[in-house]
Structure 1
Amino acid sequence: MFLYILCGILLQMNGFVWQIFFKTNIILALIFSTAPVHAQFFDDFEDGDFTNNPVWSGNNELWTISGDRLQSNSEGAADYYLSTQNTLATNVEFEFFVNLKFGTSGSNYVDVYLLADDEDLSLVQNGYFIRIGDTEDHIAFYRVLAGSESLLFSSENGIVGSTSENPFGIRMLRDEAGLWTLLADEGVTGNYVEIGSILDDDVLSSSHFGIFIKQSTAMSPRKNHYFDDFSVRPIGADVRPPAVASIDFLSNTQWQVQFSEEVATESAEETSNYIINNSINPQAVVLGENNLSVILTFSETFQTAENYELSINYIEDLAGNVMEGYNSVFTFYLTEEVTFKDVLINEIMADFAPSIGLPEAEYVEIFNRSDKTFYLDSWVLHDATTSGSIEAVYLIPEDYLILTAAENRELLQSYGRVAVVDPWPSLNNGSDQLLISDGTFPIDSVNYDDAWYNSSSKASGGWSLELIDPENTCGGEGNWTASIDDMGGTPGAVNSVLSELPDNLGPEIHKVFAVAEDSILVQFNETLNKESVQVDDFTLNPTVEVDTVFVNSDLQSVWIVLSSRLNNGVSYKMQVSGITDCSGNRVTENDPFSFSLIENAEPGDVIINEILFNPRSEGVDFVEIYNNSSKHINLKNWTLWNDQDSKLISEDHWVLAPKEYLAFTEDAVVLKEQYPLGVETSFFEMPSLPSYPNGEGTVQIVSAQDLRQDSITYSEDQHFELINNVDGVSLERISFSAQASDNNNWKSAASSVGYATPGYINSQVIRSNSGVVGEIVIDPMIIIPDGSGQADFATISYHFEQPGFIANVEVFDVNGQPIRTLAENDYLSDQGFYTWDGTTSEGNKARMGYYIIYFQVFNANGQAKVYKNKVVVGSQF
């Protein structure tokens, strides 16, 4: 009616008025135009199409929506586009996501038009665009003026160089002065980097924004252009509608909806904007004080473990942007506050190979022993070195949950509920420290090692460790054992070893480390009641006052800060009283625990004592060290080397006591099986040793201060010549005082001990070789060179008042014929030794009988002396 009356009035106007009215084209545009003027827009394609809000047009048949993203849909070569109206040209910010899943080229690239004077992007005469790809595989900024393209600036070449994934966030700003600034977020990490900027104001208007694709006949670009989150707005303006950040269940009748930004009161509190199962609206909606969340109250009572579909529409933010089309299905659970030991680590598969029946995958199973339901949205699985976030899932009472790496999900899904941990803390086969927490507080922890299997064969792989009694929450090592299930484990199900095993014993001290003069770390064998640990519980003798105690997060160790300092070389004794475990058992009364202050090692304090570099079939290498000092030495952060590479021995404290042996290996179980006399308590299992080749190589031990403690370059030729097969035979050091580099200082281990002595005194060892000054001493005088370890070789020791003598040492038979040269023009120190193993220069065993050791020395001053001693080569009968 308004238009009809207006037209009638116009017909009655004289020509002058008529002309003035129609020349006022702005007024006409406001009255008659029905097309919208797009000053800004945002499109994340979550509505499932590109034909509404805003309207995109062009080669529509060559586009589709996939996974809430705009995707190309051309099967072959084509130049095609989509565009939408946009008139913002200055003081404007453009932003979008792009991923070209192919290798770009001069025939395959994308132009995103920021300003365009034509809806058809192939006909643009004036505007600006960003080119992604092209021959140089770069991101470049172009101007179009009178139909002619000009490059303004570009990124480095090859930035869009991947042949499978090229995800970028792109942001361009143009201020009121005409300064363009282009930024890119490669990989969409949230870190935008400036590509370039330029002042250019040749084009100051626009009608459209859009995408133009150049596509060849190649297969890789087909349907492989992806775009999302297009935003055109005044700099600093908000064009993104609010989004749902989270949904929380507060009670059986209340839900809380958290939004990504502040929302307008009227739309947020409108009950019809929320609906459950397409039929249930809330009775009331209350907006929080921060305008970021609402509480929905229903007359309906929601049932645990039931699925409910929630839809939310028409919620506005404070800028007037409207959220439409949120829809999601939830399983209703009420989550409760977790306390210590509500959830337990219940099963551990650290070494899955060789498989007994389960998939070859590491996993940790947890068990909810409480009557509560938990939502694991912030829970974390830790090991000694790594922490990974547990997938946000619910854990209901008496429920099992299998935790594993993302790549193992499908392998384990058939056994029970699976939650991915990212990143997955790789489990050490021999030992590791596991902890689950709610992100802040510990819930359960387990410090396992392969002795817990109680079976050497099961410890070698394919079997899980299972908790015996989940009600014995402080049982520690005694509450774990290897699975007895035929499959090797019971992921997602009741443990095969489940039985009652009540905890009636109090905690005991496991280890004590005096890591500094005023600081002691005490480790216990089970989980403590944190509140029971007090300063007065610890007594030291000789007396040193305790100032403060701190219980660690694992609840199995305590840091003690002293009021005064410990002294080197003093043996202290610690007694503990009053402390209880988490079951309430008081600390076991036992003998005081002895410890000493840890001291720094100097080169030569820790020596290499035995090496096995050519193991038997299915065997393992080992390197044995010996503390040749009176110090207590901490091996934390020490390294074992070959001639090029190193392996960390331990990230944790490990004290080597004076005169103590320690054998490093990759598999303590196999080492014990092949050398039954080996001392298991002196075995130290490392994830891997450096490579030690069979023929020859180098072994080095290096302290945490990067001081090389000892080194040997070994050779298979150092073995006893009469041993036919040296596989599985170690080289033993025969003297702690002689240098490791002295070939005479290494002998093959004796057959009588099984050809190796890991963890205890060597079979081939010199008890004393000092001798009397000025004499040559031979020990023993009778040798039986059969490799048994009983007098296998003779040690020819020398001791002079000063160094500098030159020696020639030979072995003669009773006929005066030389059969072996032991030294030729050797330059001597003041004392040392040679060895003779009863073999000739040809490598044959010498006949039984008497032999003469001829030892000649002389120096530059003309001093000379000859020593002759008898040695008998015998045989066992």
Structure 2
Amino acid sequence: MKQFILFLFVLLPFCVNSQVNETFDGPTLGADWIGKDRGQFAINADGRLQLNIEPTESGTASIGKEIAYSSDMQWEFDVHMQKSPSDKNKLYVYLYQENDERFCYVHIGNVGYKELGLKHHGNTDLISPQTEFEAFPLLLHVKVTLEDHERWNLYYKTDEMTGYRSEGSALFATDESVGKGNLIFTFYYTKTLSDLFSIDNVRILNRVTETPLEPEIPDKPEILPNLIEVEPFSASNLLFSFDSPVDISDAVFNISTIGDAYTKSYVDTDTKRVVSTFFEKKMQTDCSYTISYTGLKSLSGKAMQDECLEVILQEEGSDPSPEPDPVPGRPDSYPKGSVVINEVMAKPGNGGMVEYVELRNMTSASVSLHKWEYKNVTGRKTKVLPNIDLPAGGYAVLLDDEEKLSVPAQAALILLEKFPALNDNGATLQLWDAAGNKIEEMTYDAATSGVSWELSEGRWLLSTAVSGGTPGAVNSNPQIEEKPEDPDDPDETPEGPEEPSVPDEFEPVLPGEIIINELLPDPYAGGSEYIELYNRSEHALSLSALSLAIRKSDGTLSTRYPLTSVPHNLKAKGYLLLTKNLEGVTSFYDIADLSALCELSKLPILANTSSTLALLRTADKIVIDEVAYSSKWHAHSVKNVKGVALERIDPDAATQDPANWTSASKTVGCGTPGYQNSQYKNASSGDATGIEPPVWIEESGSYTVSYLLDRPGYSCRAFVFNTSGLRVAEISNHELLGISGKIIWSGIANNGSPLQAGIYIFYAEIYHPEGMVKRFKKAFLIR
């Protein structure tokens, strides 16, 4: 009797202050949930309340329960959304309703796709929606408070947030005489989307608790970029250097008595931020000029201060071959080959490139391109070049004036109106100087999409640059002027430069020999993304000739990340995990073999929701393995995928089959970096599907529940009952299992105390998304 009285005494405060505390543990809905549409609702496999219908037309369905009203109240509930709600697929949560008089209600989804707001029974906004959520699926934690019958507050948070964010507050007086009423969830659906919402963790209190808020990050005052220097690259080309990135889209650069720059380009690297400007006329030496710019902005869009500088252009020294100024009636004459066509991008594809032709000055003196002619012989088009100085060894890039292309600051960008289109199947191009001499002629073959033709040792080769071309810079296949000496044998000259190829003892990796085996796109806070590779061949393979890249939506590959710095070869049937931060992996997951983990400074960034990752040979771009993963591949029972890896089930099955991927089991810590996946399909398991009752393990001081299943994807609910049939402990609540493994249980009861020694009943229910459900019940001993 004492125990019984003590039990009521401990529980009494909770009963007084908490009207509703519903977690939908299921498997059936409690009788206290009421409404004419109650039969249309069910508890889904994720342990949430959801509409369970196949509608033929749009409609609404409501379900609720009776609650009591008080002057201070607090409503909390979780809403899981598969997709973004709308004005036709939305959820209304009536916090209190009596005799069809609706007081305040939360609406999720509305006209304009604003997600979250609070209205009263006149359908008027009390708290207008402010936030539009972008990433879906989304689990939203909603909290509403009422104080002294009139002060309303609306909060929300997601699993990525450490605290709540206030959506707003309002004053709206309620009827103090109201006693009991109903809490109602009303689902608005269309005939094609009835399962958009599901509800969980409904809690109503007759008091207001403290709401921990998301810490606000104070805005740091923006430090605007500063001009470092203005440097004349030539008499008509000025370089403006800044200490931080700038936006030049609306900028105007000017030289007094000469005018505005006719073209400008911006280069942003780790070491410099330079704006290169070109002017129609040259500045004269020993003359005073005013250089100015207006309209420059920081990358955040904040306007920078306009600058105005007084300068005098002076010559640093005598030029042994000074460039003669163009003389009207007597154009300059240059020898053949003084300027060459050095690169042609005829078929840019969709990789950020445009059609262009690159010129290179092969002489040791500056060349004036004034009145030169560029001819597309095949296209029967001719364009006259502007008065631009091409410095010794310098590059110029010709393209259409309506196109945009980033080139190095030292390169001349020549924008030509209606630039003659380059034929994809090949064409002949020429350069003629102002005196009418043909300086250069070349013919390129059929173009490859996204790859330029580059001149190398008198031959035309396809570019091997990651971007597909090198406009305004040294070609990826540069001319080799000298052969390097062998430092080990000075008397012996090697036949050519050493190429970063696969070592002699290893053959090139073939498609399918190495596969992408596990991915962590959405790590824990403080954790690191990772990519796991598996060698499913029968021999060791070198990774030095491979790269990783993200495939863009247009089908092209973005930046390639070579694996040349991987310190060792991947042995047969071996695993290798790649990450930018080893500590971000080892701090969160069990590590079976530290040598199977490799930290690389540069790897592709994995999008949380979906992306396409490719493993390819660097030289010939042959794809070894490729996966277009999605967060939807996670098991349905995994409500929060942060920190949960996606595992390949069968290494020999198709990479792109969504059924061949699922979440890593929680029983292994949600990831298996560098060793066999928890969801690895073990053919020897046959039809075995079993789970054993808890066994005491002396070394760990805990109980172990072992299981062996016939396939991945099972989730588990497991409880302990005493011999009177009362549930006294919970071992697993909708926990995703692997193919085989162990669940660790402390032996602690629901009330926080160790269970007393004796005989108990172990009950487990495992269920699969394909509809299979298996139940196990067996007696065991608590020691």
Instruction: Give TM-score, length-normalised by structure 2.
Output: 0.31
Instruction: Give TM-score, length-normalised by structure 1.
Output: 0.28
More helix by share: 1
**Larger RCO, structures 1/2 (Cα 8 Å, 6+ apart):** 2
